[in-house]
Structure 1
Amino acid sequence: MTDVPEVLRYNAFAADPTGGNPAGVVLDAADLSDERMLQIAAEVGYSETAFVTSRRDDAGTPRYHVRFWSPAAEVPFCGHATVATAVALAERGGVGEMLFETGGGEVALRSASDDEGTVTVSFTSVEPEVRDLDEGVLARLLGLLGLEPSDLDPRFPPKEAFAGNWHPILVIRDRELFDQFRFSPAPVAALMREQGWHGTVTVLHAADESDVDARNLFPVGRITEDPATGSAAASTGAFLREHGVVDRTIRIHQGAHVRRPSLLTVTIPPRGGIVVSGRAVRLS
């Protein structure tokens, strides 16, 4: 293999032709160094690029080791790049079950295609965790976003949730404030690095428990706001389950604030991993 691998480009979770979140995919990355993967991710310029570094079969189920890099650093897990990679593999090897070994843990996936050949992927996250958000850290985060504790939805107290990456999750009760809040990327990125938040800061508005609007702030990855975030969708499912939303399938609407509308479907079982579903299409 040469040091100039083929980089596939896919768009994941698009709600319409103008939306979604693009990801790079390198299917043959076994010989790439960390430095080269970071360089490629920076050259691609998307929020994440996925690198498949090995494959083996366990009882007939393909198992891949996959690493994810933003233009700035390695990320333990990336949901939209996971969907993009699974679609790329399914287009070449057929749909079905597969397993990804990631820095955030093992992720089970199932792909299926419709009559037109469009592939949909559902992945089941690692076992989620939810923990309290330190009051001092919460106060700092709210201050950086120009928010007050009274702006938060009392139905859903802030938490940190993990389903591959740790995400602080805030729910704003007023839709207008959710749409209008602004922030300075550099200090938010500094707080994220300090707290080990390698994913996004997840800010939600929940008019009901079936349709949730999301803004995912990602300045630590040199992306001010991410248009579609699979890992945050899984963590949001864990967060909602912690607050009593169980045995439900919800729709997460994201990306409108960066003019890339996206839709992620999240199924919340009573226990175990959270299931996130979506499509990805090849970019020319």
Structure 2
Amino acid sequence: NEKISIQVQADGLAVAAPGTITLGPGQEADFQVTVRADSRMTMSSRSLSTTAQVTEMSGVPPPNIAESTVNQIINILQFSMLSVEAVEPYLEVYTGDNIDLEYKVYNQGNWIDKFLLATEYNENLDFQISVPLVAAEIDSMAPPYKFRITLAAPSDGSEWPINSDGVHTLETEIYIEISSDFSCRYEGACNSVTVKQSIVFLHNETVEEESESNALSGSIDDQLLIYGGSGGGILLLLILFVVMRKKK
């Protein structure tokens, strides 16, 4: 019988294999080498070397060195993973205002990936959104990338329902979906995360009151001009009347 030692070397990988096997004359045997990569290991290629060496023959050392080595390449494949965070998931916005909404996207996969942004909201409501950038590449485990959406609130909310504070309000949601481009292309299904952005629009009562106040002030000024003009005419007539009487 021959006693054969098994030695396995892997580049940065955890391996498991039998330490020795024993074979009789003319026999052969299969054995397994299990390789495990660390969690989130970067996409890369690693070498694996497996060597079988005869260490004993019938209980004594062999007269010569008999060994065989197999070299293999282990490819660490790319995978996608992401998380998304709304910086301010709930916002109150006054009519006529423009604000920027921000969303942090983390690439938790093991290689650089491109991420795509899509939005869903009620387009029948009188507000507008614009997205300056709908795609961005992010390195693996890098600091988060901030996607921005610009929101333009409706200009008037005087017809909205009135809340308990006596303010006209309108509540709505915007759904922001971030997808991994790599997953859509190579993993068979898009790996995506959706976050909800809650928005409460408030009718700006101050602007309306200032507008009404300015209109009332203009009306009073017009009346003063009319009265002032009439008074000046009466005063002029009185002066003329006095002058005429003195001449007589």
Give the TM-score range, shorter chain: under 0.3
| TM-score with structure 2 setting the length | 0.22
| TM-score with structure 1 setting the length | 0.20
| Greater strand proportion | 2
Larger Cα-atom Rg = 2
| Greater helix proportion | 1
